[in-house]
A and B are shown apart, each in its own frame.
Chain A
Amino acid sequence: MTSVKIKNLTKRYGKTIAVENVNLEIKDGELFILLGPSGCGKTTTLLCIAGLINPDEGEVWFGDDMITCAEHNKFERPQERNVAMVFQDYAIYPHMTVFKNIAFPLEVRKKHKHEIETRVKEVAERLGISELLERKPKQLSGGQRQRVALARAIVREPKVFLMDEPLSNLDAKLRVYARAELKRLHKRLGVTIVYVTHDQLEAMSIGDRIAILNNGFLEQIDTPENIYNSPKNIFVAGFIGSPPMNMLDGTLIEKDGKLFVDLGFSTYELSNRFDKLKKIKSTEVILGIRPEDISISKENIKNSIKAKVDIIELMGRELSIHHRVNENTIIAITKPTEDLEIGDELYLVFVNEKIHVFDKNTEENLITKNS
């Protein structure tokens, strides 16, 4: 087990930039998530850690060992790195039995036959695939293949586990189960895992920390809670959370010593939590509020926004209500007990502590930036 450090990693394909100047420090024993939309550079970063592609610039360190340094043209080959990888399509060798698949990394390392057998059986036992050992991959279900891929990675006892969307080929129900199982396995083994996914829900539920990438740039690294509660910028705020955060264009204005956001159709008063924004008044901002941080009132309460119910979606335990406010749509999530009908006029109240204010030009979160 080891920590992983990435310094100034850059990879280009011709003129397109896959990853630009990414810095990461992954702690020993951490389940670290690389999250982002497709093409954001998360898989490229993972492959650079694996040594399957060589970066144009930057360094990769495992603990105190520098295994990649583009500047000195040092690229340790994947087979020398002692990393194990689980691939999106599992990459199970189709011509080998499950036993042979799991044994392959040990055989290649010329381990003793007896040792190979004990270890393969041990790992198979642990993942509950002991009865499948003599089967061929063709005879396995998706979930079973995923476990075989996992077993092949675990049997090596590598320094670092790399996982490239390992659950994305499972059906929705199985995925939730596999997620929990993976989390449990990580706890028990205490290994370092670098995990790539585009699914924010998956990232939030299993990650110790998350790095969010976009267009090759690192947007934010933090724990799931912090990323959710204090997104660093508009991209992160919009990417995390479902339904996504409501974003309203506005202007900061100060009147009678108080701070307001002029939304055009309405003016919203900000609490004194935002007082530090006074020095940057009159800038264009975006006011962000998550759907679950909006409450609904039928009476006109002070500092609320008048809205009209447009769509009501029942989402199991809760309702997702789309409101029309002038040209904008604001989504709120409420208990299904509310007695609402389409066309109803009502008032939206934002939970004050949960309001985010972003600079419209730099897209940065103005509160976290100035704290």
Chain B
Amino acid sequence: MKRKRISRKIFTKDRIIIQFIFLISVLLVGYFVYIGIGWNVVVSLSDWEGLVPSYNIVGFDQYIKLLGDPIFFTSLMNNILLMLIFVPCTLFLGLFLAILLDQKVRKESVFRTIYLLPFTLSFVVTGFLWRWMYNPSMGVINTLLETIGLELLKSGWITDPNMAMFCVIISLIWQFAGYAMLIFLAGIRSIPESHIMAAEVDGASGFQLYKRVIIPQIKASTFTAFVILMVFALKAFDFIYILTGGGPAGWATEILPLTMYKETFAMTHFAYGSTIATVLFLLVMAIVIPYLYSTYRRK
């Protein structure tokens, strides 16, 4: 009885156009996201190698292979390094820029537009620009150091296996700081003016005002920015593909999405690539699901 009523409520004549179009969206996302993920898991349980998609289900062989693969662990470590260094540094720099811009700065929108600019560029573009920056022989940084007489600091940058990962991190901070700034600035601006006035009347000013009144009130923005950066730290692909291709020294800047791409599309180890993708998916979901739960629970 009840079920019948609901179905009638949804599918009546003039709703059909809207329902039909909505259904297309649901089916497309259902197929390309959910079926896709499931299918990928199936491939990860198989023995598929080579271009022809014919394979047998062999169980967890690929996952066992993964546990014995040093490249996998190198990649995973680099992803973790991104999470541990890139994420907090970006958040901190973003917050710093947001506080700077919150000082009733003249031409604030010009500064904001410039700071956000790197974030709107394609990773392929920023990858190219930073390859030129880091180029050891003629590149921007080394020649700049030469010009100002700091030749001592010249370095191999992305060609130096010990430095490459940090070069990657610095460029990514450069690209994402503006975004973090935007999120924090919006958070600061959403605090009611009366709160700040009340704190000022109570004698708080400058640093104290931020520490005690403003920063505690932008937890939600911080959380959003944190989650998005963490997810990116796992998903990053394009930028490193262009900048270093995972090298130097083989795997100095290798990360999981890159390993997955190489295994799958360069070496045609489809089953193994899918296994890495599955692990990557689970890692991302471990961050995203709690975030979505806490954000949309109330609605």
Q: Do chains A and B touch in the complex (CB under 8 A)?
A: yes
Point out residues on A near B: beta carbons under 8 Å.
54, 73, 75, 77
Q: List 10 A-B contacts (CB under 8 A).
A: A54-B5, A54-B9, A73-B1, A73-B4, A73-B5, A73-B8, A75-B5, A75-B8, A75-B9, A77-B12
Contacts of A73 in B (CB 8 A): 1, 4-5, 8
Known contacts A73-B5, A75-B8, then 8 further A-B pairs from the complex at CB < 8 Å, ordered by chain A residue: A54-B5, A54-B9, A73-B1, A73-B4, A73-B8, A75-B5, A75-B9, A77-B12
- A interface footprint on B1-22 (CB within 8 Å = 1, 0 otherwise): 1001100110010000000000
In the bound assembly, the distance between CA atoms of A75 and B4 in angstroms comes to 12
Contacts of B8 in A (CB 8 A): 73, 75
Contacts of B12 in A (CB 8 A): 77
Q: What's the minimum C-beta distance from A9 to chain B, rounded to whole angstroms?
A: 16
In the bound assembly, the distance between CA atoms of A54 and B12 in angstroms comes to 15
In the bound assembly, the distance between CA atoms of A54 and B9 in angstroms comes to 9
Chain B residue, CB-CB nearest to A71: B1
Q: What's the minimum C-beta distance from A44 to chain B, rounded to whole angstroms?
A: 17
Contacts of B4 in A (CB 8 A): 73
Contacts of A75 in B (CB 8 A): 5, 8-9
Q: What's the minimum C-beta distance from B24 to chain A, rounded to whole angstroms?
A: 24
In the bound assembly, the distance between CA atoms of A296 and B151 in angstroms comes to 104
Chain B residue, CB-CB nearest to A70: B5
User: Helix, strand, loop or mixed for chain B's interface?
Assistant: helix
In the bound assembly, the distance between CA atoms of A73 and B9 in angstroms comes to 10
In the bound assembly, the distance between CA atoms of A191 and B228 in angstroms comes to 58
7 closest A-B pairs (Cβ-Cβ)? A73-B5, A73-B4, A73-B8, A77-B12, A54-B5, A54-B9, A73-B1
In the bound assembly, the distance between CA atoms of A77 and B5 in angstroms comes to 13
Contacts of A77 in B (CB 8 A): 12
In the bound assembly, the distance between CA atoms of A54 and B8 in angstroms comes to 12
In the bound assembly, the distance between CA atoms of A73 and B12 in angstroms comes to 14
Q: What's the minimum C-beta distance from A25 to chain B, rounded to whole angstroms?
A: 26
In the bound assembly, the distance between CA atoms of A54 and B6 in angstroms comes to 10
In the bound assembly, the distance between CA atoms of A180 and B1 in angstroms comes to 47
In the bound assembly, the distance between CA atoms of A54 and B5 in angstroms comes to 10
In the bound assembly, the distance between CA atoms of A73 and B5 in angstroms comes to 6
Contacts of B5 in A (CB 8 A): 54, 73, 75
- A interface footprint on B38-72 (CB within 8 Å = 1, 0 otherwise): 00000000000000000000000000000000000
Chain A residue, CB-CB nearest to B2: A56
Contacts of A54 in B (CB 8 A): 5, 9
Q: What's the minimum C-beta distance from A370 to chain B, rounded to whole angstroms?
A: 43
Q: What's the minimum C-beta distance from B5 to chain A, rounded to whole angstroms?
A: 6
Q: What's the minimum C-beta distance from B282 to chain A, rounded to whole angstroms?
A: 35
In the bound assembly, the distance between CA atoms of A121 and B9 in angstroms comes to 37
Q: What's the minimum C-beta distance from B7 to chain A, rounded to whole angstroms?
A: 10
In the bound assembly, the distance between CA atoms of A364 and B8 in angstroms comes to 43
In the bound assembly, the distance between CA atoms of A77 and B9 in angstroms comes to 10
Chain B residue, CB-CB nearest to A73: B5
Chain A residue, CB-CB nearest to B9: A54
Q: What's the minimum C-beta distance from B18 to chain A, rounded to whole angstroms?
A: 14
In the bound assembly, the distance between CA atoms of A77 and B11 in angstroms comes to 12
Contacts of B9 in A (CB 8 A): 54, 75
Chain A residue, CB-CB nearest to B1: A73
In the bound assembly, the distance between CA atoms of A75 and B1 in angstroms comes to 14
Q: What's the minimum C-beta distance from B17 to chain A, rounded to whole angstroms?
A: 15
Chain B residue, CB-CB nearest to A74: B8
In the bound assembly, the distance between CA atoms of A77 and B10 in angstroms comes to 12
Chain A residue, CB-CB nearest to B13: A77
Chain B residue, CB-CB nearest to A77: B12
Q: What's the minimum C-beta distance from B299 to chain A, rounded to whole angstroms?
A: 16
